[in-house]
């Protein structure tokens, strides 16, 4: 069995999805429907804009979703013979919205508007230079929790925000505290840690103002039962009751992304082949590190699309 997965923030680049936009009316329709929903030429920012404008979180989030949905719709029409071969859809952070749209649980227009507001509210939740995120490489979860606990008496927040794969865990919180944890891991444990070039500390309790705002929006949004099982970032399990989706998406903003566990769950439930749809190949790399026996196909451009069977 197979699963389709959709990437999150950080995978974006100017020109992503351009060959699909120029080659398929199905892709072009997605771009234009998002433009109409937002009252903004997001398509121009994606295809021809500046990196600075695309990297604004309120643009990045709906932009990555737009490209993922457009490629999926082309793939579904021309390449996917039977959706019954696919057990699950899943997405990394904002990619979960892409999976909900592609599974007909959430409309494209609502998804675009929600992600625009989600990006804006996450950006505004914490003042610039107050928060930070860091990737901790080659460090076990237990050690990270131990070091975070060691610094718990210090003022500020430091929490695991992404459990991506073995050897790649991200922490998020107040900048001064994140820096102390990085220094501790480097000097006392000889571990590699890199501050990430992000504009806010995503997926930690500092995002509560965004979660409160998004909860109001999500509760008013219509969700339907997905046609394909969705694996939640928050629970790392399939969503059994679609009425819980607004609550799970609200929790996702302040909770860590359980990507390693999500892939494990899908693998244990029969998935042997993953297809990453959207810009970049970040999830492809993570999945291969989670379980070497799994196969992964990336579809980011026309060449990869043409090679897909």
* Active-site residue flag, 256: no
* Active-site residue flag, 161: no
Catalytic residue among 11, 43, 70, 93: 93
Catalytic residue among 105, 121, 203, 262: 203
Residues forming a β-bridge with 296: 274
The angle subtended at Cα 96 by Cα 91 and Cα 99, nearest 5°, is 80
Cβ atoms of residues 263 and 163 within 8 Å: no
As annotated, the active-site residues are: 93, 203
């Amino acid at each position: 069995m197979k699963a389709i997965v959709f990437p999150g923030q950080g995978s974006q680049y100017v020109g992503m999805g351009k060959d699909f936009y120029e080659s398929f009316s199905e892709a072009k329709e997605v771009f234009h429907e998002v433009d109409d929903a937002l009252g903004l030429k997001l398509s121009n920012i994606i295809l021809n804009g500046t990196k600075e404008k695309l990297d604004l979180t309120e643009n990045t989030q709906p932009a990555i979703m737009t490209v993922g949905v457009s490629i999926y719709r082309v793939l579904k029409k021309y390449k996917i013979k039977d959706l019954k071969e696919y057990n699950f859809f899943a997405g990394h952070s904002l990619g979960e919205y892409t999976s909900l749209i592609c599974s007909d649980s959430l409309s494209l227009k609502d998804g675009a508007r929600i992600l625009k507001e989600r990006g804006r509210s996450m950006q505004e939740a914490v003042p610039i230079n107050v928060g930070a995120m860091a990737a901790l490489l080659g460090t076990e979860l237990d050690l990270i929790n131990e070091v975070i606990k060691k610094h718990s008496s210090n003022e500020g927040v430091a929490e695991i925000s992404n459990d991506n794969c073995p050897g790649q865990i991200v922490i998020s919180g107040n900048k001064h505290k994140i820096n102390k944890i990085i220094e501790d891991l480097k000097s006392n444990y000889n571990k590699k840690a890199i501050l990430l070039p992000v504009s806010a500390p995503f997926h930690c309790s500092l995002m509560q103002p965004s979660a409160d705002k998004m909860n109001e929006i999500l509760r008013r949004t219509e969700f339907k039962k997905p046609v394909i099982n969705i694996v939640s970032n928050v629970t790392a399990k399939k969503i059994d009751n679609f009425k819980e989706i607004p609550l799970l998406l609200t929790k996702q903003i302040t909770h860590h992304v359980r990507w390693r566990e999500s892939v494990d769950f899908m693998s244990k439930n029969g998935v042997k082949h993953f297809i990453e749809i959207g810009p970049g190949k970040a999830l492809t790399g993570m999945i291969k590190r989670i379980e070497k026996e799994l196969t992964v196909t990336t579809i980011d451009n026309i060449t990869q699309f043409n090679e897909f069977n």
